[in-house]
Amino acid sequence: MSDARAVAFVTGGAGGLGSAICTKLANDGMRVVVGYHHSADAAHKLVVALTGAGHSARPAPVTDSAALTALASAIAHDYGRCDALVNSAGITRFVPHADLDALDDQLIDDILATNVRGAFAAVRAFRTLLANSPLAGGGVVVNVSSIAAEIGMGSNVMYCASKAALDNMTKSLARALAPRIRVVSVSPGLVDTEFVKSLDQTWRDEQASRAPLGRLASPQEVAAAVAAVINTLTCTTGSVVKVDGGRALG
């Protein structure tokens, strides 16, 4: 008997945000494919911990388009469908915005290749599967963005630019892939991941105070927004859904 449960593929699925997203989608009854690059052990441990059955961890280097195409074929063979693609893979490094020399060409290329080209390559590879999804509202792409795209403040100048490009790409792809595929950005502010909790408490508190709600978003709140885009907001496409405590209000 075939399994009628929807399938979600999450790039960067073993990361702080990615793991929360995978956990939420599994709790909601989806089968989850945890994509990873360097975090194989963490990805496989996450799969074991997810609610339900039918989950798997697969290598998914988003800068390798051929590997993504092969992965899409493998998921089509193993699952017969893919209903949601969550582009959660991303990289950055803290570089003061005024230190232009420290933002070297290699770092710029790495950020853009992962955060922008990688997300596009994943959509390109999974387009056919997503277009054939029987999910209510059609197949869906959720791009995990950042309010850095709007406010121009973040870990470095190119990271901010990469997320602005991702939001713009969300709008272009939403228009191009409608009506069978919806494309939405979920845009957090600074998220209270384990990594952020390990940073200087004074700095963290100062960042939280900049949001009208006076706190940082939790990974679970970002994951809930991703799940809502997939399962509830079925007439939403081309939008940027903020989970930032109002930080973008200034």
- pLDDT of 61 strictly over 90: yes
pLDDT in tens, 101-122: 999 999 999 999 999 999 999 9
Question: Which residues have CB under 8 Å from 62's CB, separation 6+?
Answer: 11, 12, 35, 37, 68, 87, 89, 114, 117, 118, 119, 121, 122
Helix (H) or strand (E) holding 46: helix 40-49
Residue 119, SS3? Answer: helix
* Residue 159 is among the residues annotated as catalytic for this protein: yes
pLDDT in tens, 75-89: 999 999 999 999 999
Out of 12, 137, 159, 188, the active site residue is 159
- pLDDT of 24 strictly over 90: yes
Sign of CA dihedral 86, 168, 159, 228: negative
Query: What is the rounded distance in angstroms from the CA atom of residue 113 to the CA atom of residue 20?
Result: 24
Query: What is the rounded distance in angstroms from the CA atom of residue 199 to the CA atom of residue 202?
Result: 9
Query: What is the rounded distance in angstroms from the CA atom of residue 183 to the CA atom of residue 175?
Result: 9
Domains, the chain, ordered by start: 7-193+220-239 (3.40.50.720)
Output the pTM of the full model: 0.96
pLDDT in tens, 165-194: 999 999 999 999 999 999 999 999 999 888
pLDDT in tens, 95-104: 999 999 999 9
Query: Measuring CA to CA, how many Å separate 203 from each of 199, 200, 208, 209?
Result: 8, 5, 9, 10
The reported pLDDT for the residue numbered 195 is 81
